[in-house]
């Protein structure tokens, strides 16, 4: 059988690399001066480390072998999103007044199936995990509702796997786009995601093992929230009580992003309300 338990770092890495190439057509408008300044600083930081730490030829060759393997495993998206994207996001959103954003990560897929609220994310008949009703309202910074807001939601399943990046899952499993109502309100029925371990059998996993780190991210919902005339927010929401909230390998948790769902009382899982405030364009 093919199930997500046969997921490999190389397969999810190849998927993330292909996804990046398809979606992120970045026009390179960076000036020579800027490229020279940035590349110069990064190269200097590496050289300073070599000198300060008295890096040996064995260590230099281990680095070279590892960098080659990152590419072979398709793990440049994973490496960069886990260890660098949080700083890029911090810089990008420093002037925002509305809800906090955080990193996108490597597993977003655009154009997931669209539903009007109240929605249920596509899932298997026997989808494992506690049902979760995620609901809220999208507003502007003045507190006015934003009709026609779009809530894109994607997350891992109960075993920590993302559809389209692990084998054996339906194409759009646990990925959906919800159109809010005339008051900007939305309801999305899904399941509670599990804590997520980044692939341990690829180059990033080898680094984590060699350094004695851990590979965990707290359980999280990924979101992109948008409305006409407003800045799109890319964010993630986490769950109170998850031990990795304080210890995320990707450094992407902020206190404002932690949910505390409550029991629905009808034996039907849990629910939580979270409102999004969008900045004007």
Question: Comparing C-alpha atoms, which of 226, 119, 129 is closest to residue 175?
Answer: 119
Residues 237-256 that bind ligand MBD (CB under 6 A): 250, 252
Region from 61-69, 80-88, 105-113, 254-262 binding Fe ion, contact rule CB under 5 A: 105-113
Asked if residue 105 binds Fe ion (CB under 5 A), the reply is yes
Least distance from ligand MBD to the Cβ atom of residue 142, Å: 32
The residue from 73, 75, 76, 107 that contacts ligand MBD (CB under 6 A) is: 107
β-partners of residue 270 are 132, 263
b vs e for 45-74, b when ≥16 Cβ sit within 10 Å of the residue's Cβ?
eeeeeeeeeeeeeeeeeeeeeeeeebeebb
Quick count: other Cβ atoms within 10 Å of Cβ 171?
A: 11
Dist CA 172 CA 186 (whole Å): 20
Phi-psi bin for 135: left (phi > 0), alpha (psi -120 to 50), beta?
beta
CB closer to ligand MBD, 39 vs 88: 88
Which residue lies nearest Fe ion, judged by its C-beta?
105
Asked if residue 160 binds Fe ion (CB under 5 A), the reply is no
Asked if residue 219 binds ligand MBD (CB under 6 A), the reply is no
Calculate Rg over the CA atoms of the chain.
Answer: 20
Region from 25-33, 50-58, 74-82, 133-141 binding ligand MBD, contact rule CB under 6 A: 74-82
Residues that bind Fe ion (CB under 5 A): 105
Residues that bind ligand MBD (CB under 6 A): 78, 81-82, 103, 105-107, 196, 198, 217, 250, 252
């Amino acid at each position: 059988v093919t199930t997500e338990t046969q997921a490999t770092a190389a397969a999810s890495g190849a998927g993330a690399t292909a996804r990046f190439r398809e979606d992120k057509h970045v026009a390179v408008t960076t000036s020579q001066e800027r490229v020279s300044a940035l590349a110069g600083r990064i190269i200097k930081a590496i050289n300073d480390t070599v000198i300060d730490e008295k890096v040996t030829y064995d260590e230099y060759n281990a680095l070279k072998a590892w960098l080659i393997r990152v590419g072979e495993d398709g793990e440049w998206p994973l490496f960069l999103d886990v260890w660098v994207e949080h700083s890029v996001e911090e810089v990008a959103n420093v002037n925002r007044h509305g809800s906090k954003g955080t990193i996108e990560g490597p597993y977003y897929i655009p154009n997931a199936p669209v539903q009007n609220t109240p929605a249920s994310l596509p899932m298997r008949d026997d989808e494992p995990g506690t049902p979760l009703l995620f609901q809220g309202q999208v507003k502007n910074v003045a507190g006015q509702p934003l009709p026609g807001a779009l809530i894109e939601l994607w997350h891992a399943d109960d075993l920590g796997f993302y559809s389209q990046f692990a084998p054996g899952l339906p194409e759009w499993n646990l990925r959906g786009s919800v159109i809010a109502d005339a008051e900007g309100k939305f309801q999305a029925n899904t399941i509670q995601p599990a804590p997520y371990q980044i692939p341990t059998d690829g180059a990033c996993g080898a680094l984590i093992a060699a350094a004695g780190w851990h590979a965990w991210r707290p359980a999280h919902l990924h979101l992109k929230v948008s409305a006409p005339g407003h800045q799109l927010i890319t964010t993630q929401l986490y769950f109170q009580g998850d031990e990795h909230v304080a210890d995320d390998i990707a450094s992407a948790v902020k206190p404002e992003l932690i949910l505390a769902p409550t029991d629905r009382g009808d034996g039907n899982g849990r629910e939580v309300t979270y409102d999004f405030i969008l900045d004007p364009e």
